[in-house]
Amino acid sequence: MKKSPKILIIDDEAPIRASLKEILEYENYQVMEAEDGAEGLKLATKFAFDAVFCDIKMPKMDGLEVLALLMEKGISGRVIMISGHGTVETAVQAIKAGAFDFIQKPLDLNRILLTVRHALDQGQLEEETRNLTRKIQSERSTAIVGAAPSIREIVELICTVAPSDARVLITGENGTGKELVARQLHELSARYDAPFIEVNCAAIPSELIESELFGHEKGAFTSAVKQRKGKFEQAQGGTLFLDEVGDMSPSAQAKVLRALQENRISRVGGEKEIEVDVRVVAATNKNLRTEIAEGNFREDLYHRLAVIPVHVPALNDRRDDVPLLVSHFLKIICEQHGKVLLEVEREAMELLQAANWTGNIRELRNVVERLVILTPKGRAIDGGLVRRFGGLSA
């Protein structure tokens, strides 16, 4: 059952506290009271309140001091300031200091209830945002799972290379986890708190790739109605991940080469040169040596990108890691779907290990999610379920 929101009233006037409490309790809110700022701070530290009403004019410690201390301590809950001596200046000062709203005495019933509802709605929205952020972070977790010698070598290489600004070229089949390696390189680098910007070169039409990477000035082409920063500028101070770099157009390759050589770019349609401080990590599922021989990729760009080459093996070449990966995905997916962690019977795991994973880890994750969704409540994932729903190819 959903708990009633909890509200704290901090006011030195007992009649005001009593009136507010009566109004709020009638709306099924849980209410606690404090007769001064010091007592209010103690309660706010001890209990988690969804909203706080705080008077401004109080002895010992005024409401703005209480507000400042609440903000400093990072105490959750929207703070609504109340005062019988309010001015526009005071209200602006309170809002700037972090208050959710400012209400003048005498208190208006409708205004109180409307403000509380808005405060609680905002709190719920913030909580949902935090939950969504945690979900995204768990989905994009850069923990590299695996015990195969090839994976251990990659992890060791990442730990060695990440602190430097050396460019890295990651190769491997689709779905092997090349982006995961790129994110790990970023997160273990000194640039971890700066942007990680990803560009899928294969997904952007060749006529737009230069604008995507370098930005454009207003009027540079028909649809350029305003100036736009490109991915190089957006990644300033951080890492730019060029995924599927083997699909980049020849003209874009030339501009990327220049950017890597000079650490400068020019927007499409612009003459001004812009300095950029970006670490470039690239990835491809193509054999760039073959692409160079066929005239599709610049050899000088290849050597600029492949300072440190990293090859991510196919899942078929590391089948012993399948149980570890299945366990890893089960924890994430069961939590996302609100299910109890499912067990996998031996025969089912053997079938998963023996499968031909042409889509690699991405395909394995999709199969695990399908099995989580379709496994009846109270059952383990068994061989029959894998044969029926796995969609595996031998």
pLDDT in tens, 293-320: 999 999 999 999 999 999 999 999 999 9
Q: Examine residue 358 and state whether it is found in any structural domain, yes or no.
A: yes
- pLDDT for residue 351: 96
Supply the pTM of this predicted model.
Answer: 0.65
Q: Examine residue 328 and state whether it is found in any structural domain, yes or no.
A: yes
Mean pLDDT of 189-211: 90
- pLDDT > 70 in the chain, percent: 95
- pLDDT for residue 126: 77
- pLDDT for residue 138: 45
Radius of gyration for the alpha carbons in the chain, expressed in angstroms and rounded: 29
Domain boundary pick from 313, 338, 367: 313
- pLDDT for residue 141: 45
Q: Examine residue 270 and state whether it is found in any structural domain, yes or no.
A: yes
Mean per-residue pLDDT over the chain, rounded = 90
Mean pLDDT of 344-366: 95
For residues 255 and 331, state if they share a domain: no
Query: What's the pLDDT band for 76 if we cut at 50, 70, 90?
Result: low
Mean pLDDT of 157-161: 94
Where on the phi/psi map is residue 376: left (φ > 0), alpha (ψ -120 to 50), or beta? beta
- pLDDT for residue 394: 63
For residues 200 and 263, state if they share a domain: yes
Q: Examine residue 1 and state whether it is found in any structural domain, yes or no.
A: no
Candidates 384, 292, 294; CA nearest to 344 is: 384
Q: Examine residue 394 and state whether it is found in any structural domain, yes or no.
A: no
**Residue 279 corresponds to which tokens in the numbers above?**
């670490």
- Looking at the predicted structure, is the pLDDT value of residue 21 above 60? yes
- Looking at the predicted structure, is the pLDDT value of residue 1 above 50? no
- pLDDT for residue 184: 93
Most confident of 89-103, 224-238, 365-379: 365-379
- pLDDT for residue 139: 47
Q: Examine residue 165 and state whether it is found in any structural domain, yes or no.
A: yes
Q: At what angle do helices 88-96 and 63-73 cross, to 10 degrees?
A: 10
Instruction: Give the CATH number, domain containing residue 287.
Output: 3.40.50.300
For residues 116 and 69, state if they share a domain: yes
Q: Provide the number of structural domains found in the chain.
A: 3
- pLDDT for residue 88: 78
Q: Examine residue 36 and state whether it is found in any structural domain, yes or no.
A: yes
Handedness of CA 386, 348, 370, 384 (dihedral sign): positive
For residues 239 and 322, state if they share a domain: no
Give strand pairing partners of 52.
Answer: 8, 79
Let me know the angle formed at the C-alpha of 235 by 229 and 240, rounded to the nearest 5 degrees: 115
For residues 42 and 92, state if they share a domain: yes
Candidates 306, 283, 321; CA nearest to 184 is: 283
Task: Give the domain range for residue 208.
Answer: 149-313
Mean pLDDT of 269-286: 93
For residues 190 and 96, state if they share a domain: no
First CA to last CA across the chain, in angstroms?
Answer: 48
Instruction: Give the CATH number, domain containing residue 130.
Output: 3.40.50.2300
Using CA atoms of 29, 30, 35, 41 in order, give the dihedral in degrees to the nearest 10.
-110
68: CB partners within 8 A, 6+ apart: 97
Q: How far apart are CA 65 and CA 71, in angstroms?
A: 10
- pLDDT for residue 6: 93
For the ranges 52-56, 341-345, 381-385, 389-393, which has the lowest average pLDDT? 389-393
Q: How far apart are CA 95 and CA 337, in angstroms?
A: 39
Candidates 229, 242, 235; CA nearest to 197 is: 235
Mean pLDDT of 95-107: 88
For residues 170 and 219, state if they share a domain: yes
- Looking at the predicted structure, is the pLDDT value of residue 135 above 70? no
For residues 354 and 273, state if they share a domain: no
Q: Examine residue 143 and state whether it is found in any structural domain, yes or no.
A: no
- pLDDT > 90 in the chain, percent: 66
Phi, psi of 357 (to 5 degrees): -90, 75
Helices (H) and strands (E) in the chain, counts: 16, 14
Q: Which residue has the tokens 């701070």?
A: 41
Contact 343, 384 (CB under 8 A): no
For the ranges 7-16, 45-54, 212-221, 325-334, which has the lowest average pLDDT? 212-221
Phi, psi of 215 (to 5 degrees): 80, 180
